[in-house]
Amino acid sequence: YKKHVYEKIVEGLRKHCPDLVLVTSLSGRDFNEFEKRSQCIELKPDMASLTLASMNFVKSASVNSPQMVQELSAKMLEYGVNPEFEAFDLGMVNYAKYLIKKGLSGPPPYYFNLFFGNIAGTQADLSHAGLMVRDLPEKSYWSFGGIGNTAQLQVNTMAIATGGGVRVGLEDNIHYDAGRKKLASNIDLVKRIHSIAGIFEREVMTPKEFGELGFYNKKR
């Protein structure tokens, strides 16, 4: 969480990959003090993750009180940082709409990562996915993320087939195969998704194209 650590990373990425949409983490899984969670906002990344409520994982919890979520959202607005809304159930989608109505989030477009497969949230099921997408605010872009290999591959493919984006990588899934015999790498997972996108004739958006939709930080 330390600002000076993030600062070196942000500066390096800005220098060598200027078109990237930089997203920092405001996760509260390991610590829950506002001062720690919000430090990186002051570096004015383009976006920052905002989990919209508390939830349980298999052996741990992510605690996000209403006050914490609102204060993080307000600070992001102050520094021009676009929220990467993270929703694990319909209630979290509704809370994003509450933040927007309350004036704690900026104007559209909005961006949502919708997660499936967590034991205490929505599952990798077409009916669950449809409800989540249907309930998003107008002018929202969305991606599907899955917890574990089976859920990740299923919902990534579902998103590609239905016009959405994908969240893919080792943070949510460390195995390449459903039998959990082969450990994955980020490159392996991205290549597989890129191949699936090609099968569906979906062109992959460039970072610059995505940023120019309205997701670059206008205050950076």
The model's pLDDT over 159-171, given as tens digits with 9 standing for 90+, comes to 999 999 999 999 9
pLDDT for residue 29: 80
pLDDT for residue 78: 98
Spans of all domains in the chain: 3-215
User: Tokens at residue 216, please?
Assistant: 């670059």
Residue 87, beta-bridge partner list: 114
The model's pLDDT over 107-156, given as tens digits with 9 standing for 90+, comes to 999 999 999 999 999 999 999 999 999 999 999 999 999 999 899 999 99
Mean per-residue pLDDT of the chain: 96
pLDDT for residue 45: 98
pLDDT for residue 1: 76
pLDDT for residue 30: 81
Q: Whose CA is closest to 217, among 50, 22, 38?
A: 22
Instruction: Give the integer Cα–Cα distance in Å for 74 and 99.
Output: 9
Domain 3-215 CATH superfamily: Aldolase class I (3.20.20.70)
User: Tokens at residue 121, please?
Assistant: 């949230």
pLDDT for residue 41: 97
Instruction: Give the integer Cα–Cα distance in Å for 124 and 146.
Output: 7
Task: Compute CA 134 distance to the chain's CA centroid, rounded to the nearest angstrom.
Answer: 18
Q: Whose CA is closest to 168, among 189, 195, 142, 191?
A: 189
Cis peptide before 109 (omega within 30 of 0): yes
Could you list the pLDDT tens digit for every one of the 220 residues in the chain? 789 999 999 999 999 999 999 999 999 888 889 999 999 999 999 999 999 999 999 999 999 999 999 999 999 999 999 999 999 999 999 999 999 999 999 999 999 999 999 999 999 999 999 999 999 999 999 999 999 989 999 999 999 999 999 999 999 999 999 899 999 999 999 999 999 999 999 999 999 999 999 999 999 8
User: Tokens at residue 74, please?
Assistant: 């307000």
Instruction: Give the integer Cα–Cα distance in Å for 103 and 126.
Output: 32
| CB 74 within 8 Å of CB 39 | no
pLDDT for residue 87: 98
**180: helix, coil or strand?**
coil
Rg of the chain on CA atoms, in Å: 17
List the end-to-end C-alpha distance of the chain, in Å, as a whole number: 20
| CB 60 within 8 Å of CB 29 | yes
Task: Compute CA 68 distance to the chain's CA centroid, rounded to the nearest angstrom.
Answer: 18
Instruction: Read off the DSSP letter of residue 109.
Output: P
Give me the residue label for tokens 């239905």.
Answer: 162
**Residue 159 CB partners (closer than 8 Å, separation 6+):** 142, 143, 144, 165, 166
